[in-house]
Amino acid sequence: MSQYDKKNPITLYPAPPFPKQEQSLPGAAWKMDPKPDHGEESYVGLGRLKGFRGVVTGADSGIGRAAAIALSREGADLVLSYLPDEQTDAEEVRDLLVSEGRKAILVPGDISDEQYCADLIETAVRELGGLDTLVMVAGRMESNDDILTLTTDAIDSTIKTNVYSLFWLCQAAIPHLEPGSSIVTTGSIQGAQPSPDKIDYALTKGAIGVFTAALAQQLAPKGIRVNSVSPGPVWTPLQPGSDDAETVSTFGEQAPFKRPGQPAELAAAYVHLVSPESSYTSGATITIAGGTPAF
């Protein structure tokens, strides 16, 4: 079964209740039950990104892994960013893509560090012989329903990871991007509909929408497009890493499709936004939320 086979979106994937599970951040895909679908067995590429050279952040697991698999199967060579703790997940992705004949180079590090962001882009330009694609999926979420206990370190970490990194990665990448290049950010429906226990995270997701809209206009004269994917609930290690076991067991039930999305269901949106097929699309957000409205 590929992404092109007709299917019923309601019954396609597991729905809650899920087995109770928790992890510590950043969480690992290989520890999840059921295992998320990143399109390993299903994503069929059609050569839409032949010759493209990209960086994908958060590429070890979840939505970033699904985006990396899809971009690679469409023909792109990639540098994959993730945290050093996530080496097991990252090697699974690298081994898969390399076995299919594409370049996939692992560059672990912390995107809340400005120097790592610069080094990541420089490594990509050197190893891939240039850069035309920057897909930023990495993000940090830690739930806390009491602002009085939210530490400055936690606030700092969330905002630096989710927002500062976009500035640092773009500042490093833009001098290398030719017309026709594309930048994709990853927001969240939390940016418009914040949950009370995700105040710092939701704030960053709202900021990512604003960042995307402003940068798209700034880079339009250079012929560089900037767009965003805004997910609803998606079955990834972000949840057991951030929420308690009870919340994870009912995850996605509030979506009109009554289940969380799987990372594989977001991959084609990233491909579309990178591909020249979306040449007049910039400053746009694609919401993928199982029927939940964007606003």
Q: Which stretches of the chain bind Mg ion, using CB under 5 A?
A: 60-61, 86
Per partner kind, with CB cut-offs from 5 to 8 A, the member of Mg ion, ligand NAD, none near residue 168 is none
Please check whether residue 69 is in contact with residue 267, taking contact to mean a CB–CB distance below 8 angstroms.
Answer: yes
Side chain identity, residue 123:
T
For residue 23, give Cα distances in angstroms to 26, 169, 192, 236, 238.
8, 28, 27, 11, 9
Question: If contact means CB under 5 to 8 A according to the sort of partner, which of ligand NAD, Mg ion, none does residue 13 touch?
Answer: none
Please tell me the distance from the alpha carbon of residue 193 to that of residue 135, in angstroms, as a whole number. 24
Q: Which of 71, 83, 166, 288 binds ligand NAD (CB under 6 A)?
A: 83
Q: State both tokens at 105.
A: 């180079």
Q: How far apart are CA 179 and CA 181, in angstroms?
A: 5
In the chain, what is the greatest distance between 2 CA atoms, to the nearest angstrom? 51
Chain-centroid distance, C-alpha 275: 17
140 is in the binding site of which of ligand NAD, Mg ion, none (Cβ under 5 to 8 A by kind)?
ligand NAD
Task: Write out the binding residues for ligand NAD, residues 52-81 only, by CB under 6 A.
Answer: 58, 60-64
Please provide the size of the chain in residues.
295
Least distance to ligand NAD from the beta carbon of 199, Å?
14
Q: How far is the CB of 116 from Mg ion (least distance, A)?
A: 16
What is the sign of the dihedral through the CA atoms of 62, 68, 70 and 73? negative
| Residue 264 touches which of ligand NAD, Mg ion, none (Cβ within 5-8 Å per kind) | none
Nearest residue to the partner ligand NAD, using Cβ: 62
Which of 289, 262, 290 lies closest to 40, judged by CA?
Answer: 262
Mark 153-172 with x for binding to ligand NAD (rule: CB under 6 A) and - for no binding: --------x-----------
Is 111 a binding residue for ligand NAD by CB under 6 A? The answer is yes
Question: Per CB under 6 A, which of residues 195..214 are in contact with ligand NAD?
Answer: none
Query: CA 260 to CA 63: how far, in whole Å?
Result: 13
Residue whose pair of structure tokens reads 């958060």 in the numeric block: 58
Residue nearest to Mg ion (CB): 61
* 285 contacts ligand NAD (rule: CB under 6 A): no
- 39, interface contact from Mg ion, ligand NAD, none, CB < 5-8 Å by kind: none
Contacts with ligand NAD by CB under 6 A lie at 26-27, 58, 60-64, 82-83, 86, 110-112, 137-141, 161, 186, 188, 231, 233-234, 236-238
